[in-house]
Structure 1
Amino acid sequence: MLKLGVIINPYAGIGGSVALKGSDGVEARDRALQLGAKPRAAERMLRALAPLEGLPVKLYGYAGDMGAAALTSLPLPFEVVGRAATVPSSAQDTQKAARALKGLGVDLIVFAGGDGTARSLADAIGCNVPVLGVPSGVKIHSGVYAISPEAAGRVLCQLAAGCWAPLVECEVRDIDETAFREGRVRARHYAEMRVPMEAGAIQQVKNAGAEVDELAQADIAADVAERMDSDSLYLIGPGSTTRAVMTELGLESTLLGVDVVKAGQLLAGDATEAEILALMQSHRGPVVMVVTAIGGQGHILGRGNQQFSPAVVEQIGRDNIWVVATADKLKALEGRPLLVDSNSPQLDRQLAGLLPVICGYHQEILYPVGGGHEPAG
């Protein structure tokens, strides 16, 4: 019987769709809720755990929205071991829950959250209990997360079926959210935790410090600018490579947000999901989304650009997604695919396959997209 501790940070990632770039702190959480953002961590945890039905597993966790409110809907035995001291729950509640699960002797703690949640667990239990993260935050730089809920489910199913997995110490990153919201990425090594490793299931640490080939980015930007026409609406996603496109166009840009451009004019900077959908609805021509891959990880959707929700991407269509990345960034993936984690498994499957990637001026390569959208079990 696999004894599985479960912790849900119920508001992880809530700021993504409304362009807040994080949800750490009461102010950010409340602001996201005021803007109409919807919690998604519990639903993503359910996607990871649902494939365990019929396997010898028992779940342990907290009452309320840290666990029981969602998990008792699963046909899996669940034991409540405590409850949060505050509603909504806090980082202290996460730490208390982790210590309680450690005291019960669980085999593994699976948790839904972002980098802040990972830091809380590291503070509470260190490397004493193996963990596996279900990615639910806005930005996820740490290497303790699966690449998607379905990938986490695959790992859990293997463990529940009695298959062994090597435990690897993976890095937890500390991100300055205040600086992040201001367009500056400050990441440092914070701690390490042990993670059951399966090839292709666990994400790599976000590479935020690699030197950037500015000349290659400029070549990509020149190519993209040449392709653009006056009739289309362009959604320029976050990243230094996409920012080079805005520089080529002579427009102000948001390094960590989504900018909307038409006919060489900036219609909206740092746009939310709702603002993007409204602009798309009023626009009568084609809509093109320009995205780049996160260095080291390879995600093109679902990490730091939740404004590109399933509702947005489905309207745009696969053929109108322009992926831009330098050749060096693609080589650094060492053959791993680009990744999508849109929060819609069906959409992720539709996006899988070969996509052209603009990697220079008049230079494209076909590169595989996938990983993590396959169901577990």
Structure 2
Amino acid sequence: MTRIGLVVNPVAGLGGRVGLGGTDGPDRPRVALSLGARPQAGARAAAALGELAARAGGPARDGLLVVTAAGPLGADSVAAAGLADRIVYAAAAGRDTTAADTAAAVRAVVAEDVGLLLFAGGDGTARDVLGALGNVHCPVLGVPTGVKMHSAVFAVGPRAAGEVAAAWLGRTGGVRLRDAEVMDRDEDALAEGRVTSRLHGWLPVPDVPVRVQQRKTGSTTVSPEAVGGIAAEVAERVGEGLLVLGPGSTTRAVAAALGADVSLTGVDALALRPGHPPRVVARDAREDTLLALGPAWLALSPIGGQGFLLGRGNQQISPRVLRAAGGREHLLVLCTEAKLAALGGRPLLLDTGDDALDAELSGHLPVITGRRRTSLYRLAM
């Protein structure tokens, strides 16, 4: 039988839609749940396994065995995907799972000689996997279920993870391993107003460039001329109305050029009116706050190096919010020409968690790069 490992961090990503950022820390998951967060890691892991099973097909599917941990740490996702499992670890009953459970599950799973370890989580989970493996060499691939995911060890989406896993296990297309960076947000830099990441190590990942994401690159200084031009274009397009700004240094600089102070890592909303200073109507907004705003313009900037437009660090802008705001027609993509060129032609990426919406948003869209300046660029899922 073909053995594949799976470890799920069941609380990964809980903080996204409720505006908490990550869920690292003992109390954060409970706070997120109290704010109405709904677990999604297990379902996204199941989607990855479902894609793997579909691509394996027939006898190959019947020969798949998923080595995993009990309950929400993996077995629930395996059952949802309809695959056979072998449970090699169970967390103690009556308590929440912790990073120690992730590490123990990883060690137990890789001891079973799996051909690939899939883990579902974010950057914090990637660090736990890195620490648990130590000197053990095992191919690894992350199913993106966290909030930020600056690391280069994740597939671009759950189904992409299943696609890459199938290619690796089937040895199709000459897939090889590469050492991919495990990154996490640099909190010291964030305190100084910069969004950048710190390197923690490397993990061996199947090298499928289009389906495995790049690491996030640090924010760079944006020229006042470029920012001013983008801001003027945004103001003209919005006119009198609501403008929701996603996180990032570019959108923050554009807001400052408009005359507003917004957060660096949160989602904020401005009321714009020609000839008047902008008014902040929501700061560090949650999904429910954005839904209450109704139709609005959504100003987003892709993550440097990765190219993600939706699904990384801005989960508050959920599928429901996107539809309520007006969909594709109300999407303003903001990016300097230098940042766009650094992507090397790779598309801007979508991972909203709603495949139908991602397909609807995909295709070419004008990217605002300055005053009266746009570049037609491809969005893909």
- Please tell me the TM-score bracket, short chain as reference: over 0.9
Distance of 2:217 and 2:237 partners within structure 1:
29
Between 235-244 and 289-298, report the one with greater CA deviation.
235-244
- CA-to-aligned-CA distance 1:65-107 (integer Å, 9 cap, x gap): 1011232232211111111236321111111111111211111
1:104 is paired with a residue whose SS is: coil
Aligned counterpart for 1:355 among listed residues 365, 368, 372: 365
Distance of 1:303 and 1:14 partners within structure 2:
13
- In structure 2, give the amino acid aligned to 1:270: D
Q: How does 1:76-225 map to 2 (within 5 A)?
A: 76-85=83-92, 87-126=95-134, 128-163=137-172, 164-176=174-186, 185-225=195-235
Cα distance, 1:32 vs structure 2 = 0.6
1:67–1:183 Cα change, 3 Å: farther
Between 197-206 and 155-164, report the one with greater CA deviation.
155-164
* 1:61 aligned partner: 68
Cα distance, 1:184 vs structure 2 = 5.1
How many residue pairs end up in the alignment?
A: 365
2:86 is paired with a residue whose SS is: strand
Q: How does 1:1-377 map to 2 (within 5 A)?
A: 1-53=1-53, 54=57, 55=61, 56-85=63-92, 87-126=95-134, 128-163=137-172, 164-176=174-186, 185-230=195-240, 232-263=241-272, 264-280=278-294, 286-315=295-324, 316-370=326-380, 373=381
Distance of 1:3 and 1:91 partners within structure 2:
24
Between 169-178 and 257-266, report the one with greater CA deviation.
169-178
Distance of 2:220 and 2:258 partners within structure 1:
25
* 1:283 aligned partner: none
1:19 is paired with a residue whose SS is: coil
Cα distance, 1:313 vs structure 2 = 0.7
Runs of 5+ unmatched residues, structure 1:
281-285
Contact 1:24 1:177 in 2 (8 A): no
Contact 1:237 1:289 in 2 (8 A): yes
1:143–1:158 Cα change, 3 Å: same
- In structure 2, give the amino acid aligned to 1:25: G
- In structure 1, give the amino acid aligned to 2:27: E
- CA-to-aligned-CA distance 1:8-48 (integer Å, 9 cap, x gap): 00010110111111110122111111100111111111111
Distance of 1:111 and 1:368 partners within structure 2:
29
- CA-to-aligned-CA distance 1:253-304 (integer Å, 9 cap, x gap): 1111111112321111111101111121xxxxx4211100000000000010
Cα distance, 1:177 vs structure 2 = 5.8
- In structure 2, give the amino acid aligned to 1:2: T
Cα distance, 1:186 vs structure 2 = 4.9
Distance of 1:252 and 1:98 partners within structure 2:
43
Contact 1:302 1:343 in 2 (8 A): yes
1:209–1:84 Cα change, 3 Å: same
1:258–1:174 Cα change, 3 Å: closer
- In structure 2, give the amino acid aligned to 1:114: G
2:81 is paired with a residue whose SS is: coil
Between 332-341 and 148-157, report the one with greater CA deviation.
148-157
Q: Tell me which of the two structures has the higher relative contact order, counting C-alpha pairs closer than 8 angstroms and 6 or more residues apart.
A: 1
1:365 is paired with a residue whose SS is: strand
Contact 1:225 1:245 in 2 (8 A): no
Distance of 1:297 and 1:307 partners within structure 2:
19
1:326–1:179 Cα change, 3 Å: closer
Contact 1:258 1:305 in 2 (8 A): yes
